[in-house]
């Protein structure tokens, strides 16, 4: 019988954002073979139609699942538009997705004002609207698309004066400063320093560690974890190989 425990885990994002998730998975699952793919040639996904994103995610997801025992959609946009379809097509295969971390952000403070930054594609999904509605009972929630932030991170400028300036303009119309920010796009943790410079020392919530923990749980439940003697490895791939130096820099800051 084919030993699936030794097969790799694939992680997928539109580009560099999922590297933050990869870092958490490396920490938590050091014995696993990890294969990362960033579709940087087609990024940003968030500015594409839901149909286009879905086609790209299904194409790459199916390709990656030919060899992988599990798939991490390390991209909120890909999860929002295509996770359900992929799970239908691959029942029984662990497919882990990302969701904006509104729950911990809202529950950690009393009636907070929470800013959710994500892609337009994520925010326009029915799934997100329902999530926002659920937490609006206990919080003021402002949801703002930040496409420029994806581009700045993809260009390697997530922590730069340009990013500070972009955020200042983007957030100029907020009625008051938020108490917390939900990073609903995996690119945005790479702009954490800029967000703190612009918004002060407030909590930033992202789902990378939660996704890694969920992956570990599901692999254990299904008996798919790498055996105890295994030595882990990581392979980085990109549809535009010019992105690989950036991926490496973000992986080993």
Catalytic annotation, residues: 75, 185
Residue (13 or 179) nearer to ligand DGL, CB = 13
Shortest Cβ 45–ligand DGL spacing (Å): 4
Shortest Cβ 75–ligand DGL spacing (Å): 4
Strands 113-118 and 140-145: parallel
Which spans in the chain are helix H?
19-28, 50-64, 76-89, 102-107, 120-123, 126-135, 147-154, 161-170, 192-199, 208-221, 244-251
Provide φ and ψ at 150, rounded to 5°.
-60, -45
Instruction: Find, among 60, 59, 57, 5, the residue nearest to 33 by Cα.
Output: 5
- CA-to-CA distance for 183 and 117, rounded, in angstroms? 5
Answer for the pair 22, 8: CB distance below 8 angstroms, yes or no: no
Residue (119 or 243) nearer to ligand DGL, CB = 119
Residue (70 or 78) nearer to ligand DGL, CB = 78
Residue (190 or 225) nearer to ligand DGL, CB = 190
Could you list the residues that contact ligand DGL (CB under 6 A)?
Answer: 13-15, 17, 43-46, 75-77, 119, 122, 150, 185-187
Which residue minimizes CB distance to ligand DGL?
Answer: 46
What's CA 195's distance to the chain center, in Å? 17
Shortest Cβ 222–ligand DGL spacing (Å): 25
Shortest Cβ 247–ligand DGL spacing (Å): 13
- CA-to-CA distance for 16 and 127, rounded, in angstroms? 24
């Amino acid at each position: 019988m084919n030993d699936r425990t030794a097969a790799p885990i694939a992680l997928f994002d539109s580009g560099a954002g999922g590297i933050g998730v990869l870092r958490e998975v490396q920490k938590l699952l050091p014995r696993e073979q990890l294969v990362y793919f960033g579709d940087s040639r087609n990024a940003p996904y968030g500015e594409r139609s839901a149909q286009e994103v879905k086609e790209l995610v299904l194409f790459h997801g199916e390709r990656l699942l030919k060899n992988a025992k599990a798939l991490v959609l390390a991209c909120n946009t890909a999860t929002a538009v295509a996770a359900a379809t992929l799970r239908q097509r691959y029942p029984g295969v662990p497919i882990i997705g990302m969701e904006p971390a509104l729950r911990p952000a809202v529950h950690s403070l009393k009636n907070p004002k929470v800013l959710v930054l994500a892609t337009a594609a994520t925010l326009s999904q029915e799934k997100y609207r329902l999530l926002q509605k659920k937490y609006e009972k206990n919080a003021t929630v402002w949801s703002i698309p930040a496409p420029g932030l994806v581009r700045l991170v993809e260009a390697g400028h997530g922590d730069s004066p340009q990013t500070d300036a972009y955020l200042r303009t983007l957030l100029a119309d907020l009625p008051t400063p938020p108490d917390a920010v939900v990073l609903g796009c995996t690119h945005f943790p790479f702009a954490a320093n800029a967000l703190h410079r612009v918004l002060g020392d407030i909590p930033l919530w992202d789902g990378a560690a939660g996704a890694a923990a969920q992956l570990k749980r599901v692999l254990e439940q299904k008996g798919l974890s790498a055996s105890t003697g295994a030595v882990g490895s990581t392979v980085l791939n990109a549809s535009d190989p010019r992105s690989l130096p950036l991926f490496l820099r973000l992986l080993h800051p």
